[in-house]
């Protein structure tokens, strides 16, 4: 796709970041550029705004086997820009979150706050004000949030949350129901605002990977690898092959652990406790083997700038491989049970369907997208090392229901176990890390990794003296939460936990 003639190409190759291009646009060409990208099947990846050194807004797209970042510097005294929601519906909440944090607003009909929840005064901007200037609030009264109302005979509303049973994070779900069928679902998230985007600006570049790993703890490897990828690109650092292969081992291990947990939970939500018991047992065994091989049960600080935290002993890797093979055999047996059990099939098949056309229009990505005919996978379509040397088989289904999302999980579990075997048996010799030299105090590094949910992105801007000027993390849940609202339409409210779990989107990764 050729850039529009008014765009300014300021591309710089970033080692460690796959195919990144940066293009400046103007207020007049911002919307037109997005239209051109959509016409060329460009996928929206993320949108964020900056206040330093001057007001600007950025949008990242996946297109032409590369990442394209559009940057719009706003003129003096201008804090609004054309909305992209008519082109990419998933961008709506990204624009609202950017407005809450920076005060830079899209010209859109929906101006409701997304992240603020009266956690700070309406005139306080976390990304425009020094952290030491945070104002004290005399009282904390939640804002009224005007949910979209559905009118008609027999329509009633069911509010669920924001506080839920168990330990999941808060989120408010407003169901509009007639009889037993859901007519509309609207979600409101961001109730535990962690201040991650502001916190990054208080950290050093070489420490930011630890916070990145905690954006969404179940995707710690994906986020910390994406952060390190961006940092290493800015530093022009060459990471040893062994370190890259160990990162891939950790990423696939993280994918295996999450799929094992979800497959058990999905069986339980269908009233099949046997599945929960078996997959919980397998996940525990996997986490123990992972701790022996990679040094910890959960890999929050395993990926570090320049490589990985520690090398893996040969005997521990052999034990991990044995566990992987045992897991593959047992998972295949349970898959046949899931597929033949009439009660489970009755709950899975046809529930929460997202047709391929709707998935494409709404921008559904990751494993949920691959269950609805959207077969994009960064490990194949835009691979970074060592995936350039490892052939990954994509999982793809087109039915778009709970059963399809379960099938994708089974497929990806088996494929990740195959990749673990390939990595362990062909792991290169050499160092597991190298020191990172000084990072230039300018430029933007982009990190992009296919996490277990889908593409995880980090946009990192280096400041002076080794500081972080700006860091924007993006979880694929931003694209997929709005699709869940469509998936529940026509289903009954009691099926929502099952449909919700089949997506298993991140609350934490959506609350920056």
Tokens 């400041």 belong to which residue? 463
> Is the peptide bond prior to 157 cis by the omega test (within 30 degrees of 0)?
no
Predicted local distance difference test score (pLDDT) of residue 71? 95
Give the per-residue pLDDT at 138.
Answer: 57
For the segment 397-401, the average pLDDT, to the nearest whole number, is 97
Average pLDDT estimate for 219-242: 95
pTM of the model: 0.94
**Polymer length of the chain:** 512
Mean pLDDT, the chain, rounded, equals: 91
Is the model's pLDDT at 6 over the cut of 80?
Answer: no
Closest to 67 (Cα-Cα) out of 397, 357, 458, 486: 458
Confidence of residue 251 (pLDDT cuts 50, 70, 90): very high
Q: How far apart are CA 403 and CA 398, in angstroms?
A: 11
Residue recorded with tokens 């099949």: 272
> Each residue of 184-217: b (16+ CB within 10 Å) or e?
bbbbbbbbebebbbbbbbebebbebbebbbbbbe
Residue 437 pLDDT: 81
More confident residue, 77 or 179: 179
pLDDT digits (tens, 9 = 90+) for 131-189: 555 666 656 667 788 999 998 889 999 999 888 877 778 899 999 999 989 999 999 99
Domains of the chain with CATH codes? 8-126 (3.30.460.80), 154-193+477-512 (3.30.390), 243-296+314-381+390-430 (1.10.645.10)
pLDDT in tens, 34-56: 999 999 999 999 999 998 778 99
Percent of the chain with pLDDT over 70: 94
pLDDT grade, residue 359 (50/70/90)?
A: very high
pLDDT at 53: 77
What pLDDT, on the 0 to 100 scale, is given for residue 134?
Answer: 61
Q: Residue 169's pLDDT is what?
A: 84
Q: How many CB atoms lie within 10 A of CB 167?
A: 5
Average pLDDT over residues 440-464: 92
**CB-count exposure of residue 358 (10 Å: 0-12, 13-18, 19+):** middle
- What is the rounded CA–CA span in Å between residue 55 and residue 211? 25
* pLDDT, greater one: 143 or 59: 59
Distance CA 270, CA 261 (A): 15
Burial letters for 281-293: b for 16+ Cβ neighbours within 10 Å, e otherwise? ebbeebbebbebb
Sheet holding 56-63, edge to edge: 8-9, 20-25, 66-73, 56-63, 43-50
pLDDT of amino acid 511: 86
Q: Which comes out higher in pLDDT, residue 325 or 195?
A: 325
Q: What are phi and psi of 157, to 5 degrees?
A: -110, 145
4, pLDDT greater than 70: no
pLDDT (mean) for 378-397? 94
The whole-number pLDDT of residue 51 equals: 87
Q: pLDDT per residue over 177-228, tens digit each?
A: 999 899 999 999 988 888 899 999 999 999 999 999 999 999 999 999 999 9
pLDDT at 52: 79
Position 82 scores a pLDDT of 97
Q: What pLDDT score does 240 carry?
A: 97
d(CA 221, CA 255): 10
The pLDDT of residue 254 is above 90: yes
3-state class (DSSP) for residue 350: coil
Residue 332, pLDDT above cutoff 90: yes
> Residue 100 above 60 pLDDT?
yes
**Two tokens at 220?**
């710690």
């Amino acid at each position: 796709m050729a850039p529009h003639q008014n765009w300014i190409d300021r591309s710089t190759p970033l080692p460690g970041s796959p195919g990144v291009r940066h293009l400046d646009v103007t207020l007049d060409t911002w919307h037109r550029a997005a239209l051109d990208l959509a016409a060329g099947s460009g996928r929206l990846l993320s949108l964020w705004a900056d206040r330093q050194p001057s007001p600007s807004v950025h949008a990242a797209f996946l297109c032409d086997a590369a990442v394209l970042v559009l940057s719009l510097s706003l003129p003096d005294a201008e804090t609004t820009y054309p909305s992209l929601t008519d082109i990419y519906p998933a961008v709506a909440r990204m624009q609202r979150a950017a407005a809450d944090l920076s005060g830079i607003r899209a010209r859109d009909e929906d101006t409701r706050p997304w992240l603020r929840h009266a956690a700070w005064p309406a005139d306080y901007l976390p990304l425009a004000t020094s952290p030491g200037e945070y104002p004290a609030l005399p009282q904390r009264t939640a804002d009224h949030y005007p949910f979209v109302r559905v009118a008609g005979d027999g329509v009633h509303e069911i509010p669920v949350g924001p506080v839920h049973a168990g330990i999941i994070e808060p989120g408010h779900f407003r169901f509009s129901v007639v009889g037993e069928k859901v007519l509309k679902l609207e979600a409101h998230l961001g109730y535990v605002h962690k201040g991650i985007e502001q916190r990054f600006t208080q950290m050093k570049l070489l420490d930011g990977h630890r916070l990145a790993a905690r954006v969404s703890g179940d995707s710690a490897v994906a986020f910390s690898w994406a952060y390190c990828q961006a940092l290493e690109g800015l530093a022009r650092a060459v990471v040893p092959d062994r370190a890259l292969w160990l990162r891939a081992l950790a990423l696939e291990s993280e994918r295996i652990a999450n799929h094992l947990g979800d497959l058990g939970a999905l069986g339980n939500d269908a009233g099949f406790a046997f599945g929960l018991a078996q997959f919980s047992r397998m996940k525990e065994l996997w986490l123990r083997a992972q701790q022996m091989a990679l040094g910890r049960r959960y890999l929050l600080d395993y990926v570090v700038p320049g490589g990985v935290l520690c090398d893996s002993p040969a005997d521990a890797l052999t034990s991990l491989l044995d566990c992987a093979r045992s897991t593959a055999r047992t998972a295949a047996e349970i898959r046949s049970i899931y597929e033949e059990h009439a009660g489970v099939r009755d709950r899975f098949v046809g529930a929460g369907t997202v047709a391929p056309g709707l998935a494409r229009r709404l921008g559904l990505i990751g494993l949920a997208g691959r269950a609805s005919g959207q077969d994009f996978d960064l490990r194949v379509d835009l691979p970074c090392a060592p995936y350039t040397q490892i052939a990954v088989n994509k999982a793809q289904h087109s039915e778009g229901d709970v059963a399809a999302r379960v099938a994708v999980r089974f497929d990806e579990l088996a494929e990740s176990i195959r990749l673990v075997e390939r990595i362990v048996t062909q792991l290169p010799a050499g160092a597991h890390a190298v020191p990172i030299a000084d990072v230039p105090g300018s430029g933007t590094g982009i990190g992009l990794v296919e996490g277990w949910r889908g593409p995880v992105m980090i946009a990192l801007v280096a400041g002076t003296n080794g500081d972080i000027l700006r860091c924007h993390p993006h979880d694929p849940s931003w694209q997929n939460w709005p699709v869940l609202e469509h998936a529940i339409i026509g289903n009954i409210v009691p099926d929502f936990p099952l449909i919700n779990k089949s997506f298993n989107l991140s609350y934490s990764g959506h609350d920056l």
